[in-house]
Amino acid sequence: MASNGIPEQYADLLDSTALAHVATIGPKGEPQVNPVWFGWDGSKIRFSQTTTRQKKKNIDREPRVALSIVDPTNPYRYLEVRGTVLEIEDDPNNDFINAMAKKYMGVDEYPWHNPGDHRVVIVIEPEHTSQMG
């Protein structure tokens, strides 16, 4: 296991263009899950959100999250990561979401930018993993 808690044989999923399905807890205790583009720096997982999205509101209230990444070449291989949001970084120039657009789409700018959106970067520290395949 790598020092960041990610098993080495699954670290490739964090460098892939697979989507991460991120789960948070809603205002009435209900789970909320949706796919996101994500980045990995070797120790933290990051994804972008606008400040008006329910997921951001859920994280403000309850910073514990879970995410799963399914291997795009083998649907029976996956990595689940549970962790806590360490910080929420402001992204006023859309630098992070533009980097994700480059990673996932090969374009320099996020194509669905709404000028009224205020983007932030959610930073997660992995605390526990489970995996299969």
Q: Name the percent of the chain lying above pLDDT 70.
A: 97
Distance from C-alpha of 133 to C-alpha of 96, rounded to nearest angstrom: 31
Determine the structural domain holding residue 89 and report its residue range.
8-132
Average pLDDT over residues 85-110: 97
pLDDT-wise least confident of 57-61, 96-100, 109-113: 109-113
Q: What is the CATH number of the domain that holds 25?
A: 2.30.110.10
Residue 3 lies in a domain: no
**Which residues, other chains included, contact 45 with Cβ-Cβ below 8 Å and sequence gap of 6+?**
14, 20, 38, 39, 67, 81, 83, 123, 124, 126
pLDDT category of residue 4 using cuts at 50, 70 and 90 = low
Q: Is residue 2 part of a domain?
A: no
The more confidently predicted of residues 3 and 107 is 107
Q: Residue 1: inside a domain, yes or no?
A: no
pLDDT at residue 3 is higher than 60: no
pLDDT at site 13: 97
101-112: burial string, b at 16+ Cβ within 10 Å, e else: beeeeeeeebee
Per DSSP, the chain holds a count of helices (H) and strands (E) of 3, 7
Q: How many folded domains does the chain comprise?
A: 1
Arithmetic mean of pLDDT, 112-125: 93
